[in-house]
Chain A
Amino acid sequence: MRSNLPIGLAAGAALVAGAVMSAPASADQTLRVVMHSDLKIVDPIWTTAYMSRNYGYMVYDTLFAMDANTDVHPQMVESYEVSADKLTYTFTLRPGLAWHDGSPVTSADVIPSIQRWGSKDSMGQKLMEFVADMQAVDDRTFKMVLKEPYGLVTMSLAKPSSNVPFIMPASVAATPSSEQISEYIGSGPFVFDVENWKPGDTVLFTRNDNYQPRSESPSWASGGKVVKVEAVEWLSVKDHQTAVNSLIEGEIDYIESPPNDLLPLLEGDENVALKVINPLGAQFMFRLNHLHPPFDNVKIRRAALASINQKDFMQATIGDPAYYKECAAMFICGSALATDAGADIVLKSDFELSKQLLEEAGYDGTPIVIMQSTDVNVLNNLGPVAKANLEKGGFVTDLQAMDWQTLVARRAKREHPSEGGWNVFMTSWTAADILNPIMAAGFNAGCDSAWFGWPCDEKMEGLRDAFARETDAAKQKEIAEQIQIRAMEVVTHAHGGQWYRPVAYRSDRLDGVLDGPVSYFWNISKK
């Protein structure tokens, strides 16, 4: 028995020696990336999950794309014309567009792709309400005919975030929108290596050598998508600490979403760069359920609005003021529709006002069920802050902790809070999803058809409709301002502050990391 010990030690020493001798992986041309989650669903139309959207940007291409100034540029489209009555749009595709299997991209592919997206996405559905007809003129040209003028046609087709109108082959796009697609051919800059996909672990994309990028320089998803590495590998690393350690040790190249609290670890490392690629950031949302007391009473909703403040939310979750901003604009500070109108109330807590409003409304002390998620890092701390502030404002609260997936399921329940429903939850939206009142789901006040919380306000719906029909940018902005004021009056939801999360990457190896609301992997070169 004793004799085993030296052998064990020797073996251990040999392993250690071997370990020390093995040099770090040789500089290869595979970009190793840790994304914020793992890729589950490979159909970016079927689900709104961000990982599926990110996947879509790798594999598919879009007709239009938004640049860093939120201006829309053609991407697959070479040129388009709008008829004088603003009812007919004629699009011409770029020459040389091809699917991964080599066959050309034609109008016959584009039309069903738009239709499938249009049946699923909220902005797409709005667009489709206006579309009378779509028809192919020839292989590269197709027409879209509207019933009446609509201001957001190209904006919709350039929608930067979920669901993005990706163009798929006709046969794939024919899949009913209620079913997931089962073929993974696209025309984008990367090819999905389905053979080497290890669900829940790694996703591998290889460079599409036949992809013909535009000649313009890239800005967000617009411009030339030039792939400079051979492959991109997405690793799913559940433990943030492990991901950060891995980046410091050079085992991976890029972390899409390092938790803000861990940034100090990376800031000290000269080989690692932190870059806020999405200058508009993201926005916390404080959502109330309009169906049940006490938040069926607008005064009590206003009281809640008066109790909370953006700073507390962001300080508790983000911490470093360099990465958050108090912002009264519901459509994101720095965007085209940004305005402060009517929204000062969210900047500061006014507990006296809240108590007064509660008094007037005759609040009976019904506890507010706050759903707190416990496993999404950036959201974990919002619940306790909301609880603390609401209580200071005179509310009685019941903070219920649950994992995010339970929360997602529970927020869809319309039952009374005591029977499995809820009163308040908090989430976060990437700025690109809420740049206008049509794409931003929170403003939908269409009662049953509204997003979870089911606000019901005819005036709001009227304003949103007017916004959609308005084609003049200046007037659109005016309507948006009114929408914001109305949203604050009826309290569809509150914006909990704007925050930023940089990507972290190995600056000693990578060059050309692009800005954008989404992590794009073209234009990056690896040493």
Chain B
Amino acid sequence: MYGFLMRRLAATIPVLGMVALFVFLLLRMTPGDPAAVLAGDNGTPQQIAEIRETLGLNKPIPVQLGIWFSNLLQGDLGQSYFFKKDVTELILLRVEPTVALAITTLVITVLIAVPIGVIAAYRHGTWLDRCVMGFSVLGFSVPVFVVGYILIYLFAMQFKMFPVQGYKELADGFFPFIHRLILPSITLSVIYIALIARITRASVLEVLGEDYIRTAHAKGLPNRVVLLRHALRNAAVPIVTVIGIGVALLISGVVVTESVYNIPGLGRLTVDAVLGRDYPTIQAVILVFSGVYVLINFLIDLTYSFLDPRIRY
């Protein structure tokens, strides 16, 4: 097990290294110029040239790459061009909202999607099943920002149940924290619920055709027990896998949701950084996102062995 852990962690290094290289080169080829952005709208050509010099953007790309990589190896992600702050610090400031949003979304999703998926599978072919699947297809069909606007209009402006925007740290108290997270989380979870409900349905449906389900029936177990203890448990591996794949989906959703609800999270940091060509920040954020993605999939691999005793590393 320990050996496996080490090897898996080692395997993530080339992936991250490749991501790092790819992103670095991609950014250096983009036409934007952070110096022009930094100089401001009225900046003169002379000012821009001066800023390029200070940032080291005049150096040849391989040299820049070398500098960045050697700093990276020392754990230094660099300094934001804009905020004159370490990127690490910037990211840490933004972690809480995004993590909070992701977790509430995940909780909402699992609480809704798994039950309806199981019910749909159990009652498959009925109108209930069709409704559930209809909803899930609809969930795939509406862009996340439209969902956001409609929810804000209804629940924040008409019914006044939730604030329009903003984020409160957990340190400011749990209620204000969760109160501001509910709408964005629901917005974000719509597509996610659709995905997980479908996968749950499909996996449970497949498991329901397995021999051991027949054995469970042959043992005279009540349907509920068969469904939850035998079917869902065995269907868990693909469901968990899709939750992991969904993290990528979540990340793209976060970018938009954070904009619509004005949540100061990593998604917005990224868009701001990309639009402003804040190279160190973009590089770091994408590296972090990729790292998280790899890590989550790694954790999911680990949960496999808890969910399924056949899987051992």
Contacts and interface: CB of A to CB of B under 8 A. Distances in A.
B210 interface: no
A410 B31 contact: yes
A427 B41 contact: yes
Interface in A205-235: 235
A202 B43 CA distance: 25
A499 interface: no
Contact of A245 (B43, B152, B271): B152
Interface string A172-213: 000000111010000000000000001111100000000000
B123 to A, nearest CB: 12
A1 B116 CA distance: 9
A16 B269 CA distance: 30
A8 B111 contact: yes
Interface of A: 1-2, 4-5, 8, 15-16, 18-20, 22, 38, 40-42, 47-50, 52, 120, 122, 162, 178-180, 182, 198-202, 235-239, 241-243, 245-246, 248-249, 251, 375, 403-406, 408-412, 420, 427, 429, 433, 441, 448-449, 451-452
B147 interface: no
A246 to B, nearest CB: 5
Given A49-B40, A251-B164, A178 B48 contact: no
B166 interface: yes
A145 to B, nearest CB: 26
Given A179-B54, A199-B85, A200-B272, A19 B37 contact: no
A1 B118 contact: yes
B272 A38 contact: yes
B268 interface: yes
Given A1-B227, A412-B45, A420-B31, A18 B175 contact: yes
Contacts of A403: 275
Contacts of B133: none
B48 A412 contact: yes
Given A198-B264, A409-B32, 19 more contacts: A1-B115, A4-B115, A15-B179, A41-B83, A48-B39, A48-B41, A178-B50, A182-B84, A200-B90, A235-B166, A236-B262, A236-B264, A238-B262, A241-B149, A245-B165, A246-B262, A251-B166, A441-B44, A449-B45
B49 to A, nearest CB: 9
A15 B178 contact: yes
B162 interface: yes
27 contacts: A1-B228, A15-B178, A38-B272, A47-B38, A47-B43, A48-B39, A50-B41, A52-B40, A120-B47, A180-B84, A199-B82, A200-B94, A237-B262, A238-B259, A239-B165, A241-B149, A243-B262, A245-B156, A245-B165, A408-B36, A408-B41, A409-B277, A411-B36, A412-B36, A420-B31, A441-B42, A448-B45
A137 B40 CA distance: 36
Nearest to A8: B111
B264 A246 contact: no
A327 B14 CA distance: 61
A409 B37 contact: yes
Interface in B81-135: 82-85, 90, 93-94, 111-112, 115, 118-119
Given A20-B161, A248-B157, A412-B36, A242 B262 contact: yes
A245 B54 contact: no
A404 B164 CA distance: 27
Given A200-B272, A201-B264, A15 B119 contact: no
B111 A406 contact: no
Interface in B24-41: 31-33, 35-41
Q: Would you call the interface of chain B mostly helix, strand, loop, or mixed?
A: helix
B259 A405 contact: no
Contact of A246 (B39, B47, B164, B271): B164
Given A246-B164, A441-B42, A451-B44, A408 B156 contact: no
B115 A249 contact: no
Contacts of A449: 45-46
Contacts, number: 164
B45 A200 contact: no
A242 B187 CA distance: 15
Contacts of A8: 111-112
Q: Give the bracket for the number of chain B residues in contact with chain A.
A: 35 or more
B53 interface: yes
Contacts of A182: 84
B163 interface: yes
B164 A249 contact: yes
B262 A198 contact: no
Given A48-B40, A452-B45, A198 B93 contact: yes
A70 B175 CA distance: 50
Contacts of A52: 40
A259 B224 CA distance: 56
A405 B262 contact: no
Contact of B83 (A16, A199, A408): A199
Given A8-B112, A178-B51, A242-B165, A1 B119 contact: yes
B182 interface: yes
A179 B50 CA distance: 9
A242 B83 contact: no
Contact of A405 (B115, B119, B275): B275
Contacts of B166: 235, 246, 251
A41 B38 contact: yes
A42 to B, nearest CB: 7
Contact of B93 (A19, A42, A49, A199): A199
Contact of A202 (B33, B51, B264, B276): B264
A249 B156 contact: yes
A12 to B, nearest CB: 9
**Which of B164, B227, B271, B276 has the most chain A CB within a 10 Å cutoff?**
B164
A266 to B, nearest CB: 13
Contacts of B277: 405, 409
Given A41-B82, A48-B39, A15 B260 contact: no
A38 B152 CA distance: 23
**Which of A49, A179, A441, A452 has the most chain B CB within a 10 Å cutoff?**
A49
B111 A4 contact: yes
A182 B84 CA distance: 8
Contacts of B90: 199-200
Contacts of B82: 40-41, 199
**Which of B54, B160, B165 has the most chain A CB within a 10 Å cutoff?**
B165
Q: Which 8 pairs of residues, A with B, have the shortest CB-CB distance? A: A48-B40, A201-B264, A409-B33, A49-B40, A48-B42, A40-B82, A199-B83, A409-B36
Given A120-B47, A237-B262, A420-B31, A40 B83 contact: yes
Contacts of A406: 31-32
B261 interface: yes
Contacts of A48: 39-43, 47
A405 B32 contact: yes
